[in-house]
Structure 1
């Protein structure tokens, strides 16, 4: 009887009915950076952090584990709650490079808590909470997107730019093709919103994207002021 029970248990595990995919089972990260001018120039509420208006620079949105088929794990470990004491030495840099634009105005801890609990807990096999945020900050240093774009004559001046030129500028600088997402402002202009750069499972090195985000942009997009 025991042998039969073990066989049934193994069958359920094989079929994915007993347990979900293990939290370390992911294929790569999306490192996502967002342009604040596009975030705020929509119908959604936009509030500056309590520290004041962020710099006119791309801000980190998150470091997200992903599967090669385009799906992703989330909220992998409810017991691994965000602990701000673990990132106390990073707070100043996080406020500068990973600012919140959510309302009501706040310091940013709610944003970072959400990102850790939804995405970071799915990468605990390779990094702890401090490493998760530290790695994201290091990745942003490696990809200074605003400098990359302005060096190619692509400026946040409300002008419209060729999408391929934007993509090529980033690829030439980091060596890999980015994913680019747009949103629309109140006048229905397509705006440069988010840049996706793929990262290996260590969370430290850029790689070619196994799959690009589904939301795409037209051939010309606006780079709004902030």
Structure 2
């Protein structure tokens, strides 16, 4: 959820990041989840009919930044670059729904360990965001998986071996070149203390890229990007 600055509450292993920098410069944010790389196995998402939100915000956290201060976190063992933080229902007016029901999470959380190795985080994402999607828990996380797999990580970042720096607009350009369906207004960069924390992509309910509207990139002139550890 992109909520003004720092509004997320997480499982113990991730709480520190949420309170420090996870929640982004645009309306939503939290902390990383699990690694899931781009794949040709792109499931067709179940479209929520009549759900009370306008679009999804896909948050891909830059894992090296989180893992710098949380080296023992579950998702840090794979030394990933971008990992799924969440797929968050958003409204065009800049608001967002959250905690919409007490519906139970997936019957087999481990079946989504490829995108959420920490089941506590999976439950948090379901309760806070997934319950507002109009989908069952299984359909919501299947849709989240499809969203992650629809995005190709630019080689410049997926193969990063040493720290680099670049303006937020250049990071956006890397993503639009690697993903022809994306446009510059469908991608936003999140940063904290001038370090990259996440890339966010705005998607409609069928997971097609759309303009982000109120979601904006951070205002840093240059963003530092540490490599995986």
TM-score, normalised to structure 2, is 0.68
Residue 118 (structure 1) shift: 0.3
**Counterpart for residue 106 of structure 2:** 83
Q: Which runs of 4+ in 1 moved over 6 A?
A: none
**Counterpart for residue 212 of structure 1:** 215
| Distance (whole Å) between structure 2 residues aligned to residue 68 and residue 62 of structure 1 | 18
Residue 224 (structure 1) shift: 0.6
Residue 191 (structure 1) shift: 0.8
| Distance (whole Å) between structure 2 residues aligned to residue 191 and residue 146 of structure 1 | 18
CA-to-aligned-CA distance 1:22-54 (integer Å, 9 cap, x gap):
x92111110000011111335xx55321x8712
Which secondary structure state, in structure 2, belongs to the residue aligned with residue 145 of structure 1? coil
**Counterpart for residue 28 of structure 1:** 55
Structure 2 gap ranges (5+): 1-49
Aligned-residue Cα RMSD (Å) equals: 2.4
Structure 1 gap ranges (5+): 1-22, 100-107, 185-189
Q: In the superposition, relative to structure 1, how do residues 24 and 146 fare at CA in structure 2: closer, same or farther (>3 Å)?
A: same
1:138 aligns with 2:150: no
Residue 57 (structure 1) shift: 2.0
Residue 130 (structure 1) shift: 1.2
CA-to-aligned-CA distance 1:103-124 (integer Å, 9 cap, x gap):
xxxxx11000000010000002
Which secondary structure state, in structure 1, belongs to the residue aligned with residue 145 of structure 2? helix
Alignment of 1:28-107 (within 5 A): 28-41=55-68, 45-49=70-74, 53-78=77-102, 80-85=103-108, 87-91=109-113, 93-94=114-115, 98-99=116-117
**Counterpart for residue 183 of structure 1:** 192
| Distance (whole Å) between structure 1 residues aligned to residue 154 and residue 161 of structure 2 | 9
Task: Indicate the structure (1 or 2) with the bigger Cα radius of gyration.
Answer: 1
| Distance (whole Å) between structure 1 residues aligned to residue 127 and residue 199 of structure 2 | 22
CA-to-aligned-CA distance 1:154-204 (integer Å, 9 cap, x gap):
8352121232211112123332221111012xxxxx1111111011023x2
User: Do the aligned partners of 1:183 and 1:191 also contact (CA within 8 Å) in 2?
Assistant: yes
| Distance (whole Å) between structure 1 residues aligned to residue 76 and residue 215 of structure 2 | 34
| Distance (whole Å) between structure 1 residues aligned to residue 171 and residue 202 of structure 2 | 17
| Distance (whole Å) between structure 2 residues aligned to residue 89 and residue 109 of structure 1 | 10
| Distance (whole Å) between structure 1 residues aligned to residue 76 and residue 192 of structure 2 | 24
**Counterpart for residue 193 of structure 1:** 197
Q: In the superposition, relative to structure 1, how do residues 201 and 84 fare at CA in structure 2: closer, same or farther (>3 Å)?
A: same
| Distance (whole Å) between structure 1 residues aligned to residue 190 and residue 224 of structure 2 | 12
| Distance (whole Å) between structure 2 residues aligned to residue 62 and residue 172 of structure 1 | 23
TM-score, normalised to structure 1, is 0.69
